[in-house]
Amino acid sequence: MKGTYGSQNSDKGHISMRVLITGGAGFVGSHLADRFLLEGFGVVVFDNLITGRVANIEHLFGRDDFHFFKQDVTEYLHYTGTIDAVVHFASPASPIDYLQLPIQTLKVGSLGTHKALGLAKEKGAKFLLASTSEVYGDPQIHPQPESYWGHVNPVGPRGVYDEAKRFAEAMTMAYHRYHQVDTRIVRIFNTYGPRMRPQDGRVVSNFIVQALAQQPLTLYGDGSQTRSFCYVSDLVEGIFRLLTVDASRAKKSVDDESEEDIHWPVNIGNPGEFTVMELAHKILAMTSSRSSIEYHRLPVDDPRVRKPDIRRAEKLLAWQPRITLDEGLKNTIEYFRSL
């Protein structure tokens, strides 16, 4: 493996903990890198830059505690230094990406997860999987608790992402049960904030970019479908707590699994629920845009509702989101204005 912007070094120096983030040049992964460095951790990023961007992490280049390697995680993974945690975020994560990259999405969820878990096992490191609310599919239970198994169409166009993440969760739990790897699984609900790609196909970035350009807002369906939007700093806080929570909270025996077990999935998202139409009008007002709304056919298997039950996160992590939608949208709009 070639280190493009760093060299592999087993000397931890003053670093209290070293975290390897796959997909660390992406939207959420790069914010995680910032947070871990702020906490005094060393950070190693593996990213093949298919959807990640060097611009998201270039402010970190030159630091002794940060290293970046252009690396496809579906191939052999190796790092010569000490790794205390592997945080697996590599994957296309927006509809436009995983619909255009279906095979790569399935491979990173299966082969990539397998290889990242293998690296964690080799290093004796914790492993945290970035899963998604998409594992619930078009849910028949609302809001969605972690105990809900989901309503997913495995052969539909969205199935490449949904099933890749469901497989990744199963692989993660298998490594915990059979190899005793200390694993964590976070199910992420719609996240937004600075460093989103302008054309990534997510509803928040789509609406903001279109509103600022005075272009029609593209609304799929009649806008009555609901989503719950979590600002990126709230998500990062929840993930940080999940990775670093006291191990004594976890069950000592894998034969004694229960919903109290920290190894089971944890929803991280904002339970505030809004219709997509409400979001569109809010963004139009906040940008003072004269854009109209243009209606398009609802995509296949698009969820009608989406809202996290966050009681596990509240109990196990003492976590709740803090940023309101208005505050988060203001910051995100300012970011897109600056591009």
Residue 103: what residue type?
I
Known active-site residue 148: no
Q: How many C-beta atoms lie closer than 10 Å to residue 244's C-beta?
A: 17
**Pairing outcome for strands 217-220 and 85-88:** unpaired
Burial of 255 from C-beta contacts in 10 A (0-12 / 13-18 / 19+): exposed
- Which two structure tokens, joined as six digits, stand for 83? 């790794």
According to DSSP, the β-strands at 191-192 and 230-231 are parallel
Query: Parallel, antiparallel, or unpaired for β 226-228 and 273-275?
Result: antiparallel
Tokens of 288: 């003072």
Q: Which of 161, 175, 192, 231 is catalytic?
A: 161
User: Rounded to whole angstroms, how far apart are CA atoms 48 and 158?
Assistant: 22
Please give the Cα distance from 153 to 157 (Å, whole number): 9
The helix-helix angle for 113-123 and 159-179 (nearest 10°) equals 20
| Cβ-contact 236, 229 below 8 angstroms | no
Q: Which two tokens stand for residue 251?
A: 């069950």
Residue among 42, 26, 35, 32 nearest 90 (CA): 26
Q: How far apart are CA 177 and CA 159, in angstroms?
A: 26
Give the pair of three-digit tokens for residue 272: 């505030």
Using CA atoms, how far residue 94 sits from 27, 31, 241, 289, 318, in Å, is 11, 17, 25, 25, 29
At a CB cut-off of 8 Å and minimum separation 6, what does 167 contact? 109, 110, 113
Instruction: Provide the annotated active-site residues.
Output: 161
